[in-house]
Amino acid sequence: MQLDAILASLPDPAFVITRSGRYIAVFGGADARYYHRGDSLIGKSIHEVLAQEKADWFVHEVSLALEKRCLHIVEYSLASSDLKGLNTDGPTDTLWFEGRVQALAFPVQGEDAVLWVASNITARNELETKLRTQSEIDPLSGLLNRRKLMQMLAEHFEMFARYGTPTSLMIFDIDHFKRVNDQHGHLVGDKVIAATADVCRHELRATDAAARLGGDEFVVLMPHTTWDHAEPIAERLRIRIANTLCTMGLDCRATISGGLSELAQGDASGEDALKRADDALYQAKRLGRNRIIVRN
């Protein structure tokens, strides 16, 4: 009786699950902040409780734990769409769990079985996501920051060096941005940065990655794209940004100038292509601004 009370008091729920995916027993789950009673699961198959794909995943992880015969740790999510016959007590948001799965040394009702302890890690997952976002996103523009950009550029260069996968990149800044700040103030300057970022989000392809390098300088990575296919994308972006800035009550000379380049044989790193694009940007400035120059 005392053992039953101890098991029932476990904060996290523990499930005895057979190789075929049947719930044999449920213990614990006393922390009412995160769990509901699981007694109704006993005797049911995982496939009676969860959607096909999620149930197949659980059965596969049970099988892995039985093969390893040592502690098997997994992280997984559960959403309302994963559950069959959901009632009003079910989760309204996606929940995240850490499963600690240990093979039992004896059969249960004629089958190999595991003990699966589930810990709710939703709060931890949300914190990790928030911290990761803060480390990768520029707060003013909402685009990627310099750190994340350079990481992605290195990854694409590795793909290029190994498989020859093309990647183009464009670097641009806002023409006469200092004049905007001087005439209208830094708050308006910040709005110009944000508006430019919004155009990038709306005009670029889902596979492209836009980043704010710093100040009024932006970079766009275009994976799987050669420079000749990237050039019309860059031109469309130039026109859309100029049109947007002209609607903000600014001098319509608040356009952009940019340089476009592509990863090339002989590059030691992605930064070589970025340097070529930067040189092309300064050439665009010298030629009168409001243009994109290609340099390979």
DSSP 6-75: HHHT-SSEEEEEETT-BEEEEEE---TTT----GGGTT-BHHHHB-HHHHHHHHHHHHHHHHH-S-EEEE
Helix axes 177-184, 186-203, angle to 10 degrees: 130
Averaged confidence pLDDT in the chain: 91
Helix (H) or strand (E) holding 98: strand 95-103
- Dihedral of the CA atoms 97, 66, 6, 45 (nearest 10)? 70
Q: How far apart are CA 224 and CA 163, in angstroms?
A: 11
The reported pLDDT for the residue numbered 85 is 67
Pairing of strands 292-294, 256-262: parallel
Helix (H) or strand (E) holding 171: strand 167-174
The reported pLDDT for the residue numbered 252 is 59
User: Percent of the chain beyond pLDDT 70?
Assistant: 96
End-to-end Cα distance, the chain: 78
More reliable by pLDDT, 131 or 165: 165
The reported pLDDT for the residue numbered 88 is 47
More reliable by pLDDT, 128 or 207: 207
Q: Is the pLDDT of residue 53 over 50?
A: yes
Q: Which two tokens stand for residue 150?
A: 């350079």
Amino acid identity for residue 164 in this structure: G
Residue 128 confidence class, pLDDT cut points 50, 70, 90: confident
Domains (range + CATH), the chain: 2-129 (3.30.450.20), 137-294 (3.30.70.270)
The reported pLDDT for the residue numbered 86 is 54
Contact at 8 Å (CB) between 261 and 292?
no
- Would the pTM count as exceeding 0.75? no
List the single range of 69-83, 127-141, 218-232 with lowest mean pLDDT.
127-141
265 phi/psi in degrees, rounded to 5: -60, 140
Q: Which two tokens stand for residue 153?
A: 């550029």
List, for residues 133-160, the tens digit of each pLDDT value.
Answer: 778 999 999 999 999 999 999 999 999 9
